[in-house]
Structure 1
Amino acid sequence: MRDAEELLTLRLRAAVSAAFGADGPVQDPQLRRATRPEFGHFQTNLPLRLAGPAGVPAARAAERLLTALHVEDVCLPPRVAGAGFVNLTLRPRFLAEQVDAVLHDEHLGVRRADPPRRVVVDFSSPNVAKQMHVGHLRSTVIGDCLARVLTSVGHDVVRQNHLGDWGTQFGMLIEHLLEEGHDGADLDLTALDALYRAARARFEADAAFAERARARVVALQGGDAGTTAVWRRLVGTSLAAFDEVYARLGVHLGAEDAAGESTYGPDLPGIVAELTGRGLLTESGGALCAFLPGFTTRDGAALPVIVRKADGGFGYAATDLAAIRHRVGRLRADVLVYVVDARQALHFQQVFALARAAGWLPERVQARHVAFGALLGEDGRPFRTRSGGTVPLASLLDAAEERAGALMAARGSRAGSPARSGTARAVGVGAVKYADLADGLGKDHVFALDRAVAMDGDTGPYLQYAHARLHRPG
């Protein structure tokens, strides 16, 4: 179905020709979106511009125009306002048809399910033993939205939460915990986050500790029982805390969707062996790298994909390659969708190219990186606390709920009412999610709490208010 604005423009042009002659004095209706809700959806000042050339008052020009305008299937009866503006309001049935047309159109290169396709959506991906922060907001909200849309059009969607639960950081944290006399039990995520920062500082300042931490990584990767037991406690504590945030956001992502980096740890030596056997890896400075056609640095030098580092460890490329092989081979994905910020664009281009060269990503399988911009503060800089620290995602949601509650109180809502608390949560969280989704994917999102929680304009609270009015009895 044609875009509403384009369709109305064609109808208005036809009306001008019918009412004022085929060579009428005005050809461009200059249709514009209405500036205020009470003016409908679209406006045009055609009567004003037709009146002079036609030698009639603007009111008479409007009457002639509307007599010849046939938009009954698209709009409610048009209204003339002011000196000669025509206001047009789309019919609810037409709007519903437009939404249905969008759902039947292409989305992410995937047509309406006929037959359904299996789509793996990779999103959120927080790090174990660290609190979710505002940097995880966009991937979580956008990824959940895409998963819902793809499900709604009939596809078989598999959600995957690629947790950061492996590597050097866990050697640092576990070694620090054990040396401090902790086994990981009875610690919440806030405490683990603080201990991680202490372990990081110690790792950077104490060479002996750094060596012990690296040895602890080897013990973890080798399946040492004591080390693995602590690691499992860290993962369990983290997943429970993540689930609370997801539930608060209304995001469909649970423990059953978690597939962290550790999931693919046993597969990494095989990844290297297969790539080596296919002649795709080259030794460079002790590391095993792939040099793919078309990927070069600014000075024209070949740009490597480091699969195994010089110290024998595996980088993100190896883990992502193993995940692709798993998702295509075992999950039988037809489409892979990665909801990750735009800074990782080159990484995914290289990983997809290497996976195709290895035969793990056949041409029948689509791989899409849904890149989004950064979350910025009102000053245009990365969203931070006043002291420059990372803002926990829960703190941002707390602030939004508090602001929503204050606005409700100012509008006469009874303080302390249980209903008000629930409504404040719905409005605050909805405001944050809507503000994120309302911006285009390709640009950075500047988050302003006051604007996001405002009760008027293009905001989540205004949308919720309009929805509530539609359901109001009578």
Structure 2
Amino acid sequence: MPSAAAALAPVVSAAIEEAFGPELRDADPVLRPSQHADFQANAALPLAKQLQMAPREVAQRIVAAPSVQALLDDGVCASVEISGPGFINLTLADGWLGSAVSATAADPRHGVAQQAPQRVVIDYSAPNVAKEMHVGHLRTTVVGDALARVLEHLGHTVVRQNHIGDWGTPFGMLIEHLLDVGEGSEEARLVETDPNSFYQAARAKFDADPAFAMRARARVVALQGGDGDTLRLWGELVELSKHYFNGIYSRLGVSLTDDDLAGESTYNDDLARVCDELTEAGIATVSDGALCVFLDGFTGREGKPLPLIIRKSDGGYGYGTTDLATVRRRVRDLRADRMLYVIGVTQSLHLQMVWATARRAGWLPDDIEPVHVVIGNVLGADRKILKTRSGAPLRLMALLDEAVAAARAAIDEDRPGLSEEERAALAPQVGIGAVKYADLSVAHDSEYVFDLERMVSLHGNTSRYLQYAVARTRSIFRKAGDAGDAADPAVAITEPEERALALALLDFGDVLAEVGDALEPHRLCTYLFELAQTFSVFYEQCPILTAEPPVLASRLALTGLTRDVLAEGLHLLGIETPETM
């Protein structure tokens, strides 16, 4: 079932064509919600200039067109009126609105249409092997996962790519340290429990012990040369890190698995070929011993050409080489129609240069769209990037532990009547949900201040408020008993609060489509928060369980659809909805 706006917009567009001819086919009706009606079509004002007519006369001709008159004759609209200089106010008929909500309630997808399917490759999370995930990984993981969920729900095939850092010079010292502490030792197991300790111990030895540093450098050469024993040891570090990553992902409730891993090592065999093809095509040239690509429009200091280095002067490869190889593989092997890179804003210039190079090389066709989903920073109370007191990046697991503890404290204060078992179960659902929602509810390219007290509050635009709204709807159905189980899905709209809730519920499909097109999860958060607020007003003003049977059934149907839309929306954000709060 389309939203009310989606049902009205094409009719008004058709009326414009009927009134003024085929040259205005598919004209924008400029349809907006209105305080004076359900919707207001504002097309007459911009059309007046084009047609050299008074706006009110344009509006009168639109309203007189057969398509608009059919809205009245067919019972879609109760009234269509002109106000002011030429605004067209459209008020939906109660019967049509009730039928539309009933149809949406009966639809398993709740009005969400499937889009023309694409293969969408999403690059997100991207932690480093044998290193702690920190707060900087939070947003790319959470935003990327929400986008993957929404796009899949809209009918697209989503290919997750977790581009982990699993190759390069640090592995020389990490492998040598692994040999020093012993494979399978307690120190080695730190890679899956406390990777920073393992990494820092290796780094300290590298900096303090020349013999160890020499062994580490030799090990890098062996790794890059494909030495079997070195590769086995490297694989052990990767495997231990997988356990650590999966612990974080499980705690966060994100959908990444080992099958989604596509780290830097994936492209080793492609890197020389990337350089050769760019050289043969005349795209890459040697500059100061390094193989570089110079692109028009990319300049550095003093206007000098800015190079994309694809092979360093020492013969090693950098991020540019690997990222070009990812583009080739994602187009050729993964058959991407659209590629999303959910990474920080500092990578913007680099990505633009990589994509421009790939276009010139013919690896990135014009009909395939790469998108940088820019991720902003998480700030502390001082409005600086969130770090520990010592200035180190804040460990992500520590952050999640703190969030669960804050949630438990808030639940203990607000809901002392709950059993210990219930409060213990709720704390991680509320705490993890709070962290994810706080991140998702602001534009992904903006910064936000990490404030746990606000995040776990029952008031305001928080996940806990939304989780409570879902729990409240479920409680209503438990109290309704047989009446809830046998509720007739037919909806009758008689009160303003019922109308407001019905209109909001019909917008769910449009909002998800906008999230999928714009790649902005905060739009879904805003919608869910406003829906929960609208339901709260409905709940306060329209008695449900004490209503007479015909009204009871209708209001239970509205409540049930609210429950389903809120729960589905939170699920698409990766947030759990407890049965009770």
Q: 1:93 to 1:220 in 2, by over 3 A?
A: same
User: Would the aligned equivalents of 2:119 and 2:336 in 1 still touch at CA under 8 Å?
Assistant: yes
Aligned to 1:344: 347
Aligned to 1:174: 175
Superposed counterparts of 1:45-444, under 5 Å: 71=91, 93=101, 113-114=115-116, 116-182=117-183, 186-204=189-207, 209-413=212-416, 417-444=420-447
* SS in structure 1 at match of 2:166: coil
How far apart are 1:279 and its partner, in Å? Answer: 1.0
* SS in structure 2 at match of 1:283: strand
Q: Which moved more, 1:440-449 or 1:251-260?
A: 440-449
How far apart are 1:11 and its partner, in Å? Answer: 2.6
* SS in structure 2 at match of 1:6: strand
How far apart are 1:447 and its partner, in Å? Answer: 1.1
User: Would the aligned equivalents of 2:192 and 2:242 in 1 still touch at CA under 8 Å?
Assistant: no
Aligned to 1:41: none
Alpha-carbon distance in 1 for matches of 2:314, 2:184:
28
User: Would the aligned equivalents of 1:220 and 1:227 in 2 still touch at CA under 8 Å?
Assistant: yes
Alpha-carbon distance in 1 for matches of 2:182, 2:145:
40
Superposed CA deviations along residues 263-282 of structure 1, whole A, max 9, x for unmatched, are 11111111111111111111
Q: 1:296 to 1:205 in 2, by over 3 A?
A: farther
Alpha-carbon distance in 1 for matches of 2:423, 2:100:
31
Alpha-carbon distance in 2 for matches of 1:420, 1:220:
50
Alpha-carbon distance in 1 for matches of 2:469, 2:30:
21
Amino acid at match of 1:281: A
RMSD: 3.3
Aligned to 1:48: none
How far apart are 1:7 and its partner, in Å? Answer: 2.1
Aligned to 1:7: 33
Q: 1:149 to 1:72 in 2, by over 3 A?
A: same
* SS in structure 1 at match of 2:226: coil
How far apart are 1:417 and its partner, in Å? Answer: 2.0
User: Would the aligned equivalents of 1:165 and 1:235 in 2 still touch at CA under 8 Å?
Assistant: yes
Amino acid at match of 2:147: L
* SS in structure 2 at match of 1:472: helix
Superposed CA deviations along residues 342-378 of structure 1, whole A, max 9, x for unmatched, are 1110010000011111111111211111112111111
Alpha-carbon distance in 2 for matches of 1:325, 1:74:
55
* SS in structure 2 at match of 1:291: strand
Superposed CA deviations along residues 223-261 of structure 1, whole A, max 9, x for unmatched, are 212221211111111111111211121111000000110
Alpha-carbon distance in 1 for matches of 2:279, 2:296:
17
Alpha-carbon distance in 2 for matches of 1:403, 1:199:
35
Among the aligned pairs, what percent are the same residue?
A: 49
Superposed CA deviations along residues 135-160 of structure 1, whole A, max 9, x for unmatched, are 10000000001111111111111111
Superposed CA deviations along residues 358-406 of structure 1, whole A, max 9, x for unmatched, are 1111112111111121111111111111222221111111111111111
How far apart are 1:205 and its partner, in Å? Answer: 5.1
Aligned to 1:466: 469
* SS in structure 2 at match of 1:340: strand
Alpha-carbon distance in 1 for matches of 2:152, 2:122:
11
Superposed CA deviations along residues 33-83 of structure 1, whole A, max 9, x for unmatched, are xxxxxxxxxxxxxxxxxxxxxxxxxxxxxxxxxxxx9745599x9xxxxxx
Structure ranking higher in helix proportion: 2
Q: 1:416 to 1:388 in 2, by over 3 A?
A: farther
Q: 1:317 to 1:13 in 2, by over 3 A?
A: closer
Q: Which moved more, 1:182-191 or 1:246-255?
A: 182-191
User: Would the aligned equivalents of 1:373 and 1:443 in 2 still touch at CA under 8 Å?
Assistant: yes
Q: 1:385 to 1:102 in 2, by over 3 A?
A: farther
How far apart are 1:179 and its partner, in Å? Answer: 3.9
User: Would the aligned equivalents of 1:275 and 1:281 in 2 still touch at CA under 8 Å?
Assistant: yes
- Does the alignment pair 1:445 with 2:448? yes
User: Would the aligned equivalents of 2:284 and 2:293 in 1 still touch at CA under 8 Å?
Assistant: yes
Q: 1:13 to 1:154 in 2, by over 3 A?
A: closer
Amino acid at match of 1:113: Q
Alpha-carbon distance in 2 for matches of 1:437, 1:193:
28
Alpha-carbon distance in 2 for matches of 1:279, 1:443:
39
- Structure 1 gap segments, 5+ residues each: 15-68, 78-89, 105-111
Aligned residue-pair number: 403
User: Would the aligned equivalents of 1:414 and 1:420 in 2 still touch at CA under 8 Å?
Assistant: no
TM-score, normalized by length of structure 1?
0.77
User: Would the aligned equivalents of 1:131 and 1:190 in 2 still touch at CA under 8 Å?
Assistant: no
User: Would the aligned equivalents of 1:131 and 1:392 in 2 still touch at CA under 8 Å?
Assistant: yes
Q: Which has the higher contact order (CA 8 A, sep 6+)?
A: 2
* SS in structure 2 at match of 1:369: strand
Amino acid at match of 1:161: N
User: Would the aligned equivalents of 2:373 and 2:445 in 1 still touch at CA under 8 Å?
Assistant: no
Aligned to 2:531: none
TM-score, normalized by length of structure 2?
0.64
Aligned to 2:508: none
How far apart are 1:188 and its partner, in Å? Answer: 4.0
Aligned to 1:30: none
Superposed counterparts of 1:16-55, under 5 Å: none
Q: 1:91 to 1:281 in 2, by over 3 A?
A: same
Amino acid at match of 1:146: L
Q: 1:468 to 1:101 in 2, by over 3 A?
A: closer
Alpha-carbon distance in 2 for matches of 1:141, 1:304:
33
Alpha-carbon distance in 2 for matches of 1:138, 1:220:
32
How far apart are 1:424 and its partner, in Å? Answer: 0.8
Aligned to 1:35: none
User: Would the aligned equivalents of 1:8 and 1:71 in 2 still touch at CA under 8 Å?
Assistant: no
Aligned to 2:577: none
Amino acid at match of 2:247: E
User: Would the aligned equivalents of 2:192 and 2:243 in 1 still touch at CA under 8 Å?
Assistant: no
Alpha-carbon distance in 2 for matches of 1:365, 1:5:
32
Q: 1:101 to 1:441 in 2, by over 3 A?
A: farther
Amino acid at match of 1:222: G
Q: 1:308 to 1:11 in 2, by over 3 A?
A: same
